[in-house]
Amino acid sequence: MQDVFARRDLLDPAQLRALCAPSDGAGAIQVASHLGAIAATGVALDLTWGTLWVVPAFVLHGVLINFLYAGQHELSHWTVFRTRWLNEWFGRLFGFISFFPRDFDQAQHTEHHRHTQDWDRDGELARERYTLVSYLLWLLGPTYWYTRWRRIIRFAAGRVSERYIAPARRGDMVREARWHLAGYGAIAAVSVASGSWAAVTFWLAPMLATKLVHQLQNTIEHLGLPHDANILHNTRSTRTNAVLRWMCWNMQYHTAHHAFPGVPFHRLPALHAALFTRRGTAPPTMTYLGFQAAVIRAFWPNRSEADYPDDRAWIGGRPVGGRQV
């Protein structure tokens, strides 16, 4: 996924070329710092086991593991490293940990960028319209994890029915899912044979229990915005702090990312500034908690996504420092 879906009318070619240059150094710093933080919280989890301090260690460890998907997302765009194979193999590692195989993620996400907010063609809108119950189940994680595991098992059985996956790619998806199942099976076998709970303690339990925090980012990006083709209208950015921007690989600058998907994560603040800040404009923007409160109000007590129009925003997002484009 390069910048083939970009809004080329917004930046001049020289500026875009400069912003699109990936960097092995920047990629290495981000990957090493994220994996290093996971290692540090894993040690903290081990050292605090049996004390009350285990709770914050457990939560932070799980949140960091979940946000590996932010890295996988960028690696799927081939923009983290200039050295191409590093993008692939770190992407496969992160996808294995997250139960989200890389080849499938790329196929689905390509269609998401190509047809953002198109109910019929956006790969990430292949779902029923939310009710309050279905939204909360997705936000908290049960249906999220169910769809991930079910898809891996279905693909491994040779059943690939997604309309956005070309027939020529379906064999790749099947092989990838089988490799994933083989890897998970090997970990389970070693765990049982050795009597070890390490995979549960340091991977599965914290990751599953803290999915909510990562879902705050996943749900805010497009829900409640128009289902039209204008990236500057159908994609939301997020106001948050520097720690969460680091953890999410700057995906809070999501409108800028959708406008120019070929710009690496570490250049997204500069891209956002060029597209919006310097022009005195802002994309649709909300805070994580403000957005969730607005969604729950919109669905309460028995409304659904189908009760709202597709052609205009029904969850707000006031612009910051200027008019909204």
2-52: pLDDT as tens digits: 544 556 667 888 889 999 999 999 999 999 999 999 999 999 999 999 999
Position 79 scores a pLDDT of 96
Position 180 scores a pLDDT of 98
pTM: 0.93
End-to-end CA, the chain: 26
Handedness of CA 237, 239, 244, 245 (dihedral sign): positive
CA angle 212, 213, 217 (to 5 degrees): 105
Cβ contact 254:236 at 8 Å: yes
Residue 169, classified by CB atoms within 10 Å of its CB into exposed (0-12), middle (13-18) or buried (19+), is middle
| Rg of the chain over all Cα atoms, to the nearest angstrom | 20
Residue 91, classified by CB atoms within 10 Å of its CB into exposed (0-12), middle (13-18) or buried (19+), is buried
Residue 206, classified by CB atoms within 10 Å of its CB into exposed (0-12), middle (13-18) or buried (19+), is buried
Query: What phi and psi values does residue 239 have, to the nearest 5 degrees?
Result: -90, 120
d(CA 323, CA 195): 60
d(CA 75, CA 55): 31
Cβ contact 220:284 at 8 Å: no
Tokens 């990936």 belong to which residue? 22
d(CA 94, CA 74): 11
Helix (H) or strand (E) holding 37: helix 24-47
d(CA 177, CA 67): 21
Strand pairing partners for 238?
286
d(CA 320, CA 325): 11
Cβ contact 313:224 at 8 Å: yes
Joined together, the tokens standing for residue 248 give 């999410």
Joined together, the tokens standing for residue 151 give 């898809």
Position 13 scores a pLDDT of 86
CA atoms within 13 A of residue 304's CA, in its CB half-sphere:
7
What letter would DSSP give residue 321?
S
d(CA 232, CA 317): 12
Helix (H) or strand (E) holding 243: helix 242-247
Residues of the chain where predicted confidence (pLDDT) is lower than 50: 3-4, 318-325
Joined together, the tokens standing for residue 141 give 């994680």
What letter would DSSP give residue 279?
G
What letter would DSSP give residue 239?
E
